[in-house]
C-alpha cells in the first residue's frame, strides 16, 4: 500500500470527508492520520467545522428582506 | 454528510410540482407558498455569489419575479429547486459582472497552490456551546462572509445548500475538479478561521508534548520514506 505524506492527506481531505475515493486511498489516509497528530487535528476539526456550520443553519432571511420580497411579489401577482 | 436542514425544509418535491401546476392553471396565489418553501435557499445562493445582503435581496426579488413570469418554461423532468437555483445563480452572476470591482484573476490562480493549515491545536469538545445562539450565528456567518468569493460560493452551494458536486459546478459554470479544489480550500479556510474561537487553549505542558510528538512523527516519516527507497 502506498504511504501518504501530510501533503497527500491535505489534498485528499475533502474527498475523504465526502465519502469519495478508493478503499486503498481511504485506508492510506486513515493510516497516516492515526500516526500524525497534526493531520489528525486538521481532519477532526474540519469535520467538526462542517457539523457546526450545518447545525447552525446560517443566513436566515432577515424579516425586513422577506417583507419587501412579498410586497414586490404582491404587485407582480396582481398584474393582469 | 447528514442533512441537518434540507434546503426545502424536508417538504417533498412533488408538493412543488402541485403548486407549479396550480399557478399555471391560473391560481396565482399558489405562487406564494412556493416562494416560502424556497426563499431561504434563493437568499443563500445569491448571498453566496454576491457577498452582501443588499445585492442578494435585489437579486432574490428578481429571481422570483423571473421564475413566476417564466414558469411555463419549467420542465418537469428537473427538480423545481434545481431550476430555481439556476435562475438565482445566473441572476447573481450577471449582477456581479456589472460591478466595477471584479474578482482579480490572481485570486482564482492562488487556488492552484495548496493551502497550508497553520493551527494545529485540538478544539474544545462542544465549542459552539460556549457561545450564545446569536453569537455563534455571527461567528459562522462572519467566517463565511470573509471567504474570497470563489471559495464562499463553492462552500455555500456544497456544504450549506448541499448541492452535489456536479450541480454546484454546473451552476457556477466551472469544472467539477475546479469546484472540488475550491471547496477543499474553502473548508480549510473556514477551519482556520473558526479555530481562533474554538481551540482549546494549550497549556505549556501540551505545547511541549505536541512539539515532541510532531518532531518525532516527522523524523519517523523521513526514516520510513528513506527505508522505502
- Residue B229: pLDDT band (50, 70, 90) is low
Of residues B171 and B70, the one with the higher pLDDT is B70
- pLDDT for the residue numbered B203: 74
Q: How confident is the model at residue B139 (pLDDT cuts 50, 70, 90)?
A: very high
A25 Cβ under 8 Å from any chain B Cβ: no
Smallest CA–CA distance, residue B121 to chain A, in Å, is 7
User: Which comes out higher in pLDDT, residue A75 or B111?
Assistant: A75
In the structure, what pLDDT confidence band is assigned to residue B82 with cuts at 50, 70 and 90?
confident
Q: Between B216 and A60, where is the model more confident?
A: A60
Average pLDDT of span A23-39: 94
- Per-residue pLDDT for A31 more than 50? yes
The mean per-residue pLDDT over the stretch B141-159 comes to 94
Q: Do A73 and B122 touch (CB under 8 A)?
A: no
C-alpha cell of residue B146: 470573509
pLDDT at B5: 40
Residues of A in contact with B40 (CB under 8 A): 59-61
Determine contact, residues B179/B169, Cβ cutoff 8 Å: yes
- CA dihedral of residues B108, B110, B113, B114 (deg, nearest 10): -80
- In Å, how far is B65's CA from the nearest CA of chain A? 7
Average pLDDT over residues B178-196: 95
Could you tell me what percent of chain A has a pLDDT over 90?
A: 86
What average pLDDT does this structure show over B167-183? 92
Q: Which of B60, B85, B67 is nearest to A77 (CA)?
A: B67
Average pLDDT value for residue range A9-25: 93
pLDDT, averaged across chain B: 85
Give the start-to-end residue ranges of the domains of chain B. Answer: 13-97, 113-158+165-198, 202-229
C-beta separation of B23 from B34 below 8 A: yes
Beta carbons of B120 and A42 less than 8 Å apart: yes
CATH number for the segment(s) B113-158+165-198: 1.10.10
CA-angle at B164, arms to B71 and A13, nearest 5°: 160
Q: What are the grid coordinates assigned to B131, written together?
A: 457561545
The helix or strand, by DSSP H or E, that contains position B15, with its residue range, turns out to be helix B13-24
Per-residue pLDDT, B4? 40
| Residue A25, CA distances (Å) to A1, A4, A29, A30, B197 in order | 9, 9, 6, 9, 32
pLDDT digits (tens, 9 = 90+) for B91-138: 999 999 887 555 554 455 455 567 889 888 889 888 888 888 889 999
Query: In 3D, which of B115, B91, B112, B102 has the Cα closest to residue B149?
Result: B102
Inspect the interface and report whether the beta carbons of B140 and A15 lie closer than 8 Å: no
Decide: residue B84, CB within 10 A, 0-12 exposed, 13-18 middle, 19+ buried.
buried
Domains B13-97 and B113-158+165-198 fall in the same CATH topology:
no
Confidence of residue B8 (pLDDT cuts 50, 70, 90): very low
Tell me how far apart the alpha carbons of residues B52 and B63 are, in angstroms, rounded to a whole number. 16
pLDDT at residue A39, rounded to an integer: 95
State yes or no: pLDDT of B219 exceeds 90: no
pLDDT at B68 over 90: yes
Percent above pLDDT 70 for chain B: 88
Predicted pLDDT of residue B200? 82
Which among B77, B89, B55, B79 is positioned nearest to B179, based on CA atoms? B89
B211, three cell numbers: 512539539
- Distance, in Å, from the CA atom of B59 to the CA atom of B95, rounded to the nearest integer, reads 8
Buried b or exposed e, range B169-190, using 16+ CB within 10 angstroms: bbbbebeeebbbbbbbbbbbbb
List the CATH code of the domain at B13-97. 1.10.1740.10
Q: Is B32 exposed, middle or buried (0-12, 13-18, 19+ CB in 10 A)?
A: middle
How far the first Cα of chain B sits from its last, in Å, is 39
Residue bearing the bigger pLDDT, B161 or A2: B161
Q: Note the pLDDT of residue B6.
A: 41
Write the ipTM. Answer: 0.91
> Does A31 lie at the interface with B, CB-CB under 8 angstroms?
no
Domains of chain A, residue spans: 6-77
Question: Can you tell me the distance from the alpha carbon of A46 to that of A13, in angstroms, rounded to the nearest whole number?
Answer: 9
User: Alpha-carbon distance B12 to B34, whole Å?
Assistant: 12
Is residue B199 helix, strand or coil? strand
**Is B71 buried (19+), middle (13-18) or exposed (0-12) by CB count in 10 A?**
middle
Contact status of A61 with chain B (Cβ, < 8 Å): yes
Task: Specify the length of chain A in residues.
Answer: 80
The more confidently predicted of residues B225 and A34 is A34
Amino acid at each position: 500500500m502506498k504511504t501518504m505524506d501530510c501533503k497527500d492527506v491535505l489534498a485528499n481531505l475533502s474527498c475523504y470527508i465526502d465519502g469519495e475515493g478508493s478503499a486503498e486511498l481511504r485506508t492510506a489516509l486513515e493510516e497516516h492520520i492515526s500516526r500524525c497528530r497534526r493531520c489528525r487535528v486538521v481532519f477532526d476539526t474540519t469535520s467538526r467545522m462542517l457539523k457546526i456550520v450545518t447545525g447552525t443553519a446560517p443566513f436566515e432571511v432577515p424579516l425586513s428582506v422577506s417583507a419587501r420580497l412579498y410586497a414586490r411579489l404582491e404587485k407582480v401577482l396582481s398584474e393582469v | 454528510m447528514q442533512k441537518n436542514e434540507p434546503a426545502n425544509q424536508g417538504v417533498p418535491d412533488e408538493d412543488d410540482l402541485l403548486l407549479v401546476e396550480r399557478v399555471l392553471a391560473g391560481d396565482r396565489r399558489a405562487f406564494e407558498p412556493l416562494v416560502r418553501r424556497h426563499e431561504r435557499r434563493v437568499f443563500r445562493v445569491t448571498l453566496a455569489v454576491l457577498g452582501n445582503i443588499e445585492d442578494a435581496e435585489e437579486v432574490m426579488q428578481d429571481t422570483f419575479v423571473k421564475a413566476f413570469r417564466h414558469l411555463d418554461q419549467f420542465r418537469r423532468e428537473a427538480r423545481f429547486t434545481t431550476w430555481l437555483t439556476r435562475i438565482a445563480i445566473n441572476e447573481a452572476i450577471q449582477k456581479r459582472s456589472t460591478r466595477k470591482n471584479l474578482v482579480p484573476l490572481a485570486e482564482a490562480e492562488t487556488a492552484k497552490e495548496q493551502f497550508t493549515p497553520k493551527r494545529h491545536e485540538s478544539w474544545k469538545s462542544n465549542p459552539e456551546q460556549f457561545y450564545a445562539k446569536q453569537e455563534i450565528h455571527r461567528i459562522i456567518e462572519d467566517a463565511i462572509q470573509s471567504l474570497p468569493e470563489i471559495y464562499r460560493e463553492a462552500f455555500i452551494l456544497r456544504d450549506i445548500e448541499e448541492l452535489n458536486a456536479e450541480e454546484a459546478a454546473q451552476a457556477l459554470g466551472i469544472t467539477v475538479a475546479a469546484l472540488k479544489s475550491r471547496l477543499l480550500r474553502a473548508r480549510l479556510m473556514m477551519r482556520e478561521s473558526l479555530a481562533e474561537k474554538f481551540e482549546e487553549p494549550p497549556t505549556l505542558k501540551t505545547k511541549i508534548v505536541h512539539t515532541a510528538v510532531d518532531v518525532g512523527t516527522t523524523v519517523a516519516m523521513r526514516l520510513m520514506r528513506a527505508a522505502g527507497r
